[in-house]
Chain A
């Protein structure tokens, strides 16, 4: 007795079709499974291939850079080899402090602006908000070197056209902070907006029900609730900013001494790597791996740290 067949009834075309499909499926099963297994294995291979560069870079960084990390490396300013002392290398304290100052000042103005603008995007649905969102997307997609051009033309050499007169302040850390800050703001904006939007509507509405104004709700309810996401946003933007080279290529000058004055020229770690990679001194070229290792370490700490911190804060809240 075949399934679904009623004795004596006319043959049902659906049953024949079903049997055809099942027969074809049985016949092709072996081939289909083989192909599937093959392609799935290829996907796994793709994953492995994709991770090889990561391990290769980490291996190069650690094997070539680790031996440079010494106390001198962090505390001394650079020295230059000569023919009779080809191994005179100081350290990179000027670059570390330079990065600190430049990124610190950039963060100082980028974080508040980015968070407030992100709050605006989360709270408002006006046309201006839509335009602002589009602008932020465009800005994150632009090559960062254009920001360097902008900072150079406005801050470094000054502006003297169309009746607007802006005195240039020359090569300085402030000009670099300006470029990096503008880079950071759209990143913080977008991430802050999504973090703030994830605050559940009932939480907001509870505030409204208690009679608070929107501003108070934002300050006392929404932001504290979204704090892990906001901190993640800020740390991610910082980790991106620390590694940027293009915006500060011609804007911060150079300095071989430790300099805390942001109106003067300064060194910076990513710029140091860029310049030392083609240094005429072999030992400085090798030292570049040490700088790169330290830079990657800082970036990874910021990156991973942001996520771990957000996760911890989330768990603490429960």
Chain B
């Protein structure tokens, strides 16, 4: 580097790099960037492959009956995960059934109903729900919600519908319904916050233009805002679904962990992630592989949901483009 003071020396280098400005001298920078990113990418790839590879003995042993088999009995070395898959889909469905209307409704309310000043406050409150750790949800669900469900909610639902499907089992507290409700509370902030972002980006001019044509607020929301925000809302729901499919700890604490077909909403059930959590530690090698297979099924389900979401987004974008 130059030793004479820069300003006095007419031969001072024009750049701090004595070799002159050159892309090649950037190599250290790019080496670090590529190196670190490559390292992380390698870890991820090893991780994903290890999960898939660890499940191979299970696929060899049970074949596709892992997916359509109805009995999960590690003592008899029978591993059929259909009831567990059904439990996963059912809890996610219950969660979405409540989370989509309430989440999108809250988002609409935050953006278009609340006075502007309150927007940040309520947005932060909704996002606060997302910050609560899942184990605290499980604790609250188990110690507060479950007794309430068993004593009030479930008998109430049963008597309203006359003990018919899907409310015919006796209330046990921990149940499919309770797990679905806890999941609903957990994915609500995801759907609400992302929908709010999508709804807020719909141009104000479109909103006001429709109003000026004489439409009522709901007509504007229905015909202008929601279609405009459709892409973001679909993305939000996709993310929420993926989260619900994979939630482990909170569900394990409130679902009863019984890998049988749930006969009603009040039965105990099991989900893919919670079964892995309960059984992994004391599993025989074949059982470990079967639990790895459950993980693979879970990843496949998540991938299907993401793919479906992307198709919906593409379809919306196409129709929005035509419009």
Chain A residues within CB distance 8 Å of chain B: 25, 32-33, 35-36, 39-40, 42-47, 49-51, 53-54, 56-57, 60-61, 112-113, 116-117, 119-121, 123-124, 128-129, 131-132, 135, 138-139, 141-147, 149-150, 152-154, 182, 185, 189, 211-216, 218, 239, 242-246, 249-250, 270, 273-274, 277, 285, 288-289, 292, 295-296, 299-300, 303-304
Contact across chains for A117 and B40 when beta carbons are under 8 A apart: yes
Select the residue from B23, B104, B135, B239 with max chain A CB neighbours within 10 A: B135
Residues of B within 8 A of A295 (CB): 133, 136
Chain B residues within CB distance 8 Å of chain A: 14-17, 21, 23, 25-26, 28-30, 32-34, 36-37, 39-41, 43-45, 47-48, 50-51, 54, 101-106, 108-110, 112-114, 122, 124-126, 128-129, 131-140, 142-144, 185, 188, 192, 214, 216-219, 221, 239, 242-243, 245-249, 253, 273, 276-277, 280-281, 292, 295, 298-299, 302, 306
Partner of A120, one of B36, B43, B47, B295: B36
Known: A50-B126, A274-B138, A299-B132. A113 touches B36 (CB 8 A): yes
What's the least CB distance linking A268 to chain B, in Å? 10
Residues of B within 8 A of A303 (CB): 128, 131
Residues of B within 8 A of A138 (CB): 44, 48
Contact across chains for B29 and A215 when beta carbons are under 8 A apart: yes
23 A-B residue contacts at CB 8 Å?
A: A33-B216, A35-B218, A40-B113, A45-B105, A47-B114, A50-B106, A50-B126, A61-B140, A117-B40, A128-B34, A144-B248, A145-B248, A145-B277, A149-B292, A150-B47, A182-B43, A243-B133, A243-B135, A246-B249, A273-B135, A277-B143, A277-B253, A300-B131
Complex Cα distance, B108 from A312, in Å, reads: 29
Known: A36-B217, A36-B218, A245-B135. A143 touches B273 (CB 8 A): yes
Known: A139-B44, A143-B248. A47 touches B34 (CB 8 A): no
Known: A47-B106, A149-B295, A295-B136. A213 touches B25 (CB 8 A): yes
Q: Which chain A residue shows the least CB distance to B126?
A: A50
Select the residue from A123, A146, A295 with max chain B CB neighbours within 10 A: A146
Partner of B136, one of A39, A57, A250: A57
Complex Cα distance, B3 from A21, in Å, reads: 84
Contact across chains for B40 and A185 when beta carbons are under 8 A apart: yes
Complex Cα distance, B43 from A147, in Å, reads: 11
Known: A57-B136, A296-B133. A44 touches B109 (CB 8 A): yes
Complex Cα distance, B113 from A216, in Å, reads: 48
Known: A131-B41, A185-B40, A212-B15. A141 touches B246 (CB 8 A): yes
Residues of A within 8 A of B29 (CB): 213-215, 218
Residues of A within 8 A of B26 (CB): 213-215
Q: Which chain A residue shows the least CB distance to B29?
A: A215
Complex Cα distance, B135 from A57, in Å, reads: 12
